[in-house]
Amino acid sequence: YAMMAGLTDEQKARGVITASAGNHAQGVAFSSARLGLKALIVMPVATADIKVDAVRGFGGELLLHGANFDVAKAKALELSQQQVFSSCLLYTSDAA
């Protein structure tokens, strides 16, 4: 939320894009709705329905793409370069 709230007005107008398989996606969808930002969230096709439904429930625009997170992440990065999103917000966890 804090990172998105700190975007400039121009960046906010362009929106954000991210890739996630669940919790990060929900956080971005929730935060973007609270801040009135466009957010495209790329999730793997096999993401659990409960997580997909939560993202949609928060108002996030969702693209289901790829068999796993790495493929979804690559798609988000590709789209961030092709379209006019201000930021590609990627969460990585060092936990194994």
- Supply the pTM of this predicted model: 0.86
**Long-range CB contacts (< 8 A, 24+ apart) of 74-83?**
75/19, 75/42, 76/17, 76/18, 76/19, 76/40, 76/42, 77/19, 79/17, 79/40, 79/42, 80/17, 83/17
The pLDDT value recorded for residue 94 is 37
Average pLDDT over residues 57-67: 95
Rounded Cα distance, 51 and 44, in Å: 11
Name the DSSP letter for residue 71.
Answer: H
What share of the chain has pLDDT > 90, as a percent?
A: 57
Average pLDDT, the chain: 87
